[in-house]
Amino acid sequence: MALEYRTRAGDTVDLIVWRQYGRTDGGIVERVLAANPGLAEHGPRLPGGLRLILPSVAAVQASVEPGVKLWA
């Protein structure tokens, strides 16, 4: 189930994602932007009072490829 979030003046999408999900990897930021068309047009610092839809945690469970070992 998706959550609703009201922005506070100065919020950033990264900060909102970190607060709500506890991480910013796995394409979560991109999924939040996709769920809120036009959000990126506000710039990096968001105005207060915007209503955002945050996808459910299950919906953002992206498969993360394992890292590459450069040295053994």
Long-range contacts of 12-18 (CB under 8 A, 24+ apart): 12/44, 12/45, 12/46, 13/39, 13/46, 16/52, 16/54
Residue 21 lies in a domain: yes
* pLDDT tens track for 12-71: 999 999 999 999 988 999 999 999 999 999 999 999 999 999 998 765 554 455 677 788
Task: Kindly state whether residue 23 falls inside one of the protein's structural domains.
Answer: yes
CATH classification of the domain holding 50 = 3.10.350
For the whole model, what pTM was predicted?
0.76
Indicate whether 16 belongs to any domain.
yes
In this prediction, residue 63 carries a pLDDT of 47
Question: What range defines the domain where residue 18 resides?
Answer: 3-57
Count structural domains, the chain.
1
Whether 10 is in a domain gets the answer yes
Q: What's the confidence (pLDDT) of residue 57?
A: 72
- Residue 70 maps to a domain: no
State what percent of residues in the chain have pLDDT above 70.
86
Tell me the residue length of the chain.
Answer: 72
